[in-house]
Amino acid sequence: MGKIKIAFFDAKEYDKQSFINSNENNEFEILYFETRLSEDTCKLAEGCDVVCVFVNDDVNRAVIDNLKQMGVKLIALRCAGYNNVDIEYAYGKIHVVRVPAYSPYAVAEHAMALLLTSIRRIHKAYIRTKDFNFSLNGLTGFDLHGKTVGVIGTGKIGRIFIDICKGFGMNVIAYDKFPAKDLEIEYESLDEVWKRSDIISLHCPLTDENRHMINSETISKMKKGVVIINTSRGALIDSDALVEGIKARHVGAACLDVYEEESNVFFHDYSNHIVNDDTLARLISMPNVIVTSHQAFLTNEALTNIADTTLDNVREFFEKDTCTNEVCYKCPNLNNCKQTHEKKCF
């Protein structure tokens, strides 16, 4: 076949530059679109072999049908999560690949950066000293050493976060539906993690089973003053329940790089607009909440790995019968996948 043509949706400047660098030999023809993929925009992919999408592109049934009808053969996610793709419906129609580990260090380090910023009030001190206010009133934090951190999800990112926490002298307990047998980790039930943890950090994919796993009921089981960190997927937390938990002084702080309704807000500049999401506005206004706009992945190393792996996925799909990073509904949790990925899923 001729040069493979890729429709690249939700393109940002940092995305484009990393893919331009990775495609320096112009092996692929890449069309960059700033708009997200949806039923209204999928027509832009006409004549393309591949669509390349990110976390907020909507790859639902109608989109999949339209893409298949246009002759698109591959959906290439340039991220690890795939909850925005109807992978069961895509099976047998269009193959789906992802980037499973672009830079687990980037995300784990960002989670710790959020935690340290929050508990040591670094963001508040920065603002004060900009105004030459050097008062320490209200900036008292607490030591991480000796505190118990509960880590939900012990994949690559979770394991690196655990190592970082151990470096601070923290006690680590963890929960994973599929516990790792090769790690010296103290696995506990979710209820035990909620009960014992001073800090809880989420590092698991979003599924129908764990959607809103942090809710009013689970928050009530947590320690008073618990710090909650989420650098995974926003819908793991019921945002309204989190607001109520903070208002009740039960949740001590929240560090959020993701938000369940982020798709129409994150990655855009709304500094001169009124944000209509009252829950997000309330969270941002709270002094013990830090929100970053899904930037945990955003390092030079991660962007390079994402571009290289995505284009490797496309190359492998069209040149070989293998599809190493393919996902389908038969393997919703790749840590427990029964397939060897020695060939394509269908």
List active site positions: 233, 262, 294
Cα–Cα nearest to 243, from 260, 263, 264: 260
Q: Is 61 helix (H, G, I), strand (E, B) or coil?
A: helix
Q: Encoding tokens for residue 20?
A: 């331009």
d(Cα 50, Cα 186) in Å, to the nearest integer?
43
**Paired sense of beta strands 95-97 and 326-327, if any:** antiparallel
Phi first, then psi, for residue 98 (nearest 5°) are: -140, 180
d(Cα 178, Cα 175) in Å, to the nearest integer?
9
Q: Encoding tokens for residue 84?
A: 């925005």
Q: Encoding tokens for residue 133?
A: 């206010």
Cα distances (angstroms) measured from residue 74 to each of 4, 27, 59: 11, 17, 12
Cα–Cα nearest to 346, from 4, 50, 94, 100: 94
Concatenated DSSP letters of 262-283: GGGTTTS--TTS----HHHHHH
d(Cα 20, Cα 12) in Å, to the nearest integer?
12
Phi first, then psi, for residue 228 (nearest 5°) are: -110, 130
d(Cα 138, Cα 159) in Å, to the nearest integer?
33
Cα distances (angstroms) measured from residue 205 to each of 32, 222, 297, 342: 27, 22, 15, 24
d(Cα 339, Cα 150) in Å, to the nearest integer?
30
- C-beta of residue 306 within 8 angstroms of C-beta of residue 102: yes
d(Cα 253, Cα 36) in Å, to the nearest integer?
32
